[in-house]
Structure 1
Amino acid sequence: MVVVKRRASAFSGSDLDVVLRARGIDHLVLTGIATSAVVLYTLCQANDLDFGLTVLSDACLDTDPEIHRVLVERLFPQWADVVGVDAWLKGIAP
């Protein structure tokens, strides 16, 4: 299945929500470039759509390291489990 992403959020302007729900998926693991844009927008919309969320903090990147740090340490934990890739692969949750 290929979902074409058209906006900052992977959900905006796409059928991603329908595709995921049709497959019974209710938890997402987010990674990506532009922590302060693409990851943030997708996380907010996925949260509004009641998906469970995990953000892999060291699999995200932003042009401003301080903004990235604030997002993954202070904002994202309000809505998602935030862990590193190694911890996630080992099944270690916060």
Structure 2
Amino acid sequence: MHMQFISAFAVYFIIWWITLFAILPIGLKTQAEDQDVVPGSVESAPAKFRGGRVVLLTTLVSGVIYGSWYIASTYFGIGFDSLPRILPNFD
């Protein structure tokens, strides 16, 4: 049971991390677009970084993705074994 929790958390963490990079550019307004470039920074730097919003949205979206994966694997038997094998089986 303990190992299943660790595995489930590892899968969720990987999904969360990938989702973070998909969510980061959503709604981003650069300093150049805001026409207020801080000296010493690049124009493409965010004008206002909203880290809390990004973390919350990432957590919600990755929760939906993980929940979908969990339901598909638990109730419908769809998992990694359902994917076609690209490499030959050497068993």
Higher relative strand content:
1
Which is greater in Rg? 2
Structure number with the higher helix fraction is: 2
- TM-score surpassing 0.5? no
TM-score of the pair, normalised by structure 1: 0.20
- Higher RCO (C-alpha 8 Å, min separation 6): 2
